[in-house]
Amino acid sequence: MTELLVISTVTGLTTVAGALTTLFAGEPGTKLMAFYLGLSAGIMALVIVADLLPAALSGGEAYGILLGLLVGVVMLRALHHGMDRMSGEALVSARTEPTPAHWRQAGWMMGIALALHHIPEGIAIGAGFEAHHQVGVMLALSMALHNIPEGIGLAAPFLLGQLRRRMIVLFSFLVSLCIPLGAWLGGIYFTTSPQAVAFGMAFAAGAMGYLVFWELGPSGIRLHRLSAQFGMLISLIAMLILHALPG
């Protein structure tokens, strides 16, 4: 459990790293963002196919696995929809150029939604560690890559809203703690039986599948198709190398 909490905390802190990138270097170009998104999407997709689904199928019943997949997809879809609405509705009332107050409100709402979004991601990491150490590590790596663009996006409206930099860093840190919280919950509740572990694996696969096919992949392609595809290719090579290593 200690290793799980340490790794999940480091994973969460990549949100802070993304926010710091925006604060001190500005928002990265579209090609770099597309590469990050493609890399993250590729690793997640390969973790689903090569690790999560085989682990779930080896230890659980079909109905439990299907239920886990469905719950993962529905939960992430609901949270993603809520995030879009919360960050967007803060600016609806501004018929002209949004004021700093509107941007700050959008940032707070986006941060709250992002915190809720991080909890099931942490649960996926916790469940992954319970199935196999390598699965948990790969999940943490893919989530870490995913969190960097999220941190960049979180800091941007606060900068436009002229919020103090130390407050932006503090808020992004608090948001990042939701991942170890979720990992702790996953490590507790997905250890009771082989069926519970299989459900956790399926839940993680469903949640990550939603992120890959409805969020990360399309976003990367929209930003810059070739850069996103290059990121996916690098992720494939990296995963082949990691799975070829002993242990």
Return d(Cα 212, Cα 121) in angstroms, integer: 13
Rounded CA separation 126/179 (Å): 10
3-state secondary structure 27-81: CCCHHHHHHHHHHHHHHHHHHHHHHHHHHHHHHCCHHHHHHHHHHHHHHHHHHHH
Mean pLDDT, the chain, whole residue set:
80
- Quick: pLDDT tens for 125-175: 887 787 677 777 877 887 887 788 778 878 877 887 888 999 999 999 999
* Across 98-109, average pLDDT: 75
Q: How confident is the model at residue 70 (pLDDT cuts 50, 70, 90)?
A: very high
pLDDT of res. 94: 45
pLDDT at 16: 94
Query: Predicted confidence band at 95 (pLDDT cuts at 50, 70, 90)?
Result: very low
Tell me the C-alpha to C-alpha distance, in Å, between residue 225 and each of 48, 108, 133, 143, 179.
23, 31, 33, 22, 30
Give pLDDT tens digits for 191-225.
Answer: 667 777 788 778 878 887 888 888 778 888 998 99
| 40/22 Cα distance (integer angstroms) | 19
Distances from the Cα of 207 to the Cαs of 13, 73, 87, 213, 233, in angstroms?
20, 5, 21, 10, 22
Tell me the domain boundaries of the chain: 2-24+31-244
Per-residue pLDDT tens digits for 27-51: 667 888 788 788 878 877 887 887 7
